[in-house]
Amino acid sequence: MDMSFDLQRYMTKGVERVVAESLKATMKDPKESAFMLKFAAASRTASKKRRMAEDNGEHIPPFLIASITSRCNLHCAGCYSRQNHATTDSEPVRQMTASEWARLFDEADALGISFILLAGGEPMLRRDIIEAAGERQNILFPIFTNGTFVDDRYFALFDKCRNLIPIMSIEGGKDITDERRGEGIYDKLISNMDKFRQHGLIFGASVTVTTENYREVTSDVFLDTLSRRGCKAVIFVEYVPVTDESLELAPGDDEREYMKDMVSRLRKERPDMVYISFPGDEKNSGGCVAAGRGFFHINSHGGAEPCPFSPYSDVNVKTASLRDAMHSPLFTALQSGDILKDDHSGGCVLYEKRELVEALLGR
């Protein structure tokens, strides 16, 4: 690891900031405040576990991304997951079971992992796994969802299990959201947001940043739409081109510089929401934080991968422990090499340099 940058401190402070902002935003809601206070204590305990492991020469990332299903009901334009055949219309065989995911969540808690991002496909198709996550109160589970399966049963679950935080995908206003995600999706998302506010529940928004929407999604008009409905976090994810035809959607240097300046300004001028930018924030952390530096990815079949944009694996958590997966030969090679620190033109250095990753696997 690059010892000139204290990655442990960077990621830990990021977790603490999200918790602190959530506490500030929810002091009027006794139930939410009670949970956030308990989670803040659990987060400190997890930080101590990771710090002790670091002192013993073992790095434990505070984040994990878990794609709990390969199935999705939408066909979003330019979806990298469908292009990589990681997402399908029907549930493939040999997906991880709810009990297998529950075991993995418990292992993560024991190691000191504080955040597990639930992704897919569309994760809300796997209610059994989300219910298992809700029982692990020491871990915060942001759920990256297209929002189409939010219903009264889910509202009841989110009210009961405050460690489940829906992060709904939106591309800007109605026209650009429906163009990419399908007709009627924007209205469904806005309806969901209004109901979350009425129920007093925290939610966030995830935005795929492209050359077409980067100004719109950082505008006061768009952010006001989210803020007045109670959104507490906006996660900007730079579009990763998956075909030559989609290269024009990938932000270039000018768009990245604009996003960097805007996110910095938003954090100062609009503190009502938390703003996270990928890979923008990684630039400040000494390079890409995938492959276990800050997080790694478990796919729906149990394969441990550097990140969702880099679908390569040499170990499976169905037969290996989470700790063993973190120390896989692929992750070890990536952490000790220079690929993660390289500059790159696209949204993901590992996707852009996938030939090098394949070479590490001997392909």
As a whole number, mean pLDDT of residues 206-224 equals 96
Cβ atoms of 145 and 119 closer than 8 Å:
no
CA–CA separation, 162 vs 110, rounded Å?
A: 20
Q: What integer is the mean pLDDT of 39-49?
A: 90
- Averaged pLDDT of the chain: 85
Of 34-38, 124-128, 342-346, 353-357, the range with the highest mean pLDDT is 124-128
Handedness of CA 226, 229, 234, 237 (dihedral sign): negative
Check: CB of residue 87 under 8 Å from CB of residue 120: yes
Q: Residue 77 and residue 193: Cα distance in Å, rounded?
A: 23
* Strand order across the 141-145 sheet: 274-278, 231-238, 203-209, 164-169, 141-145, 115-119, 63-67, 297-298, 304-305
CB 104 within 8 A of CB 66: yes
* 267 — pLDDT class (breaks 50, 70, 90): confident
Class level of CATH domain 7-360: alpha beta
**This prediction's pTM:** 0.88
Report whether pLDDT(127) > 80. yes
Residue-wise pLDDT tens digits, 149-195: 999 999 999 999 999 999 999 999 999 999 999 999 999 999 999 99
Domain boundaries, the chain: 7-360
Determine the pLDDT at residue 7. Answer: 47
Confidence of residue 5 (pLDDT cuts 50, 70, 90): very low
Q: Are 335 and 293 in contact (CB under 8 A)?
A: yes
Q: Would you say residue 146 has pLDDT above 80?
A: yes
> Other CB atoms closer than 10 Å to residue 155's CB: what's the count?
17
pLDDT at 183: 96
pLDDT of residue 2: 41
For the segment 16-41, what is each residue's pLDDT rounded down to a tens digit?
Answer: 666 666 666 666 667 767 787 888 88
Give 296-306 pLDDT, tens digit per residue. Answer: 999 999 999 98
Q: What is the pLDDT of residue 23?
A: 60
Residue 246 confidence class, pLDDT cut points 50, 70, 90: confident
Residue for token pair 């949204």: 347
Mean pLDDT calculated for residue range 215-239:
94
pLDDT at 344 over 60: no
* pLDDT for the residue numbered 81: 75
For residue 348, pLDDT beyond 70: no
Q: Which tens digit of pLDDT belongs to each residue from 277-292?
A: 877 666 655 667 777 8
Residue with the larger pLDDT of the pair 356 and 97:
97
pLDDT at position 20: 65
Report the C-alpha gap between 174 and 187 in whole angstroms. Answer: 7
How far, in Å, CA of 41 to CA of 192, rounded? 30
Give the least confident one: 10-19, 110-119, 147-156.
Answer: 10-19
- DSSP SS3 for 68: coil
As given in the structure block, the two tokens for residue 104 are 């993995």
| pLDDT at position 1 | 40
Q: Before 134, cis peptide (omega within 30)? A: no
The Cα–Cα gap between 62 and 46 comes to: 8
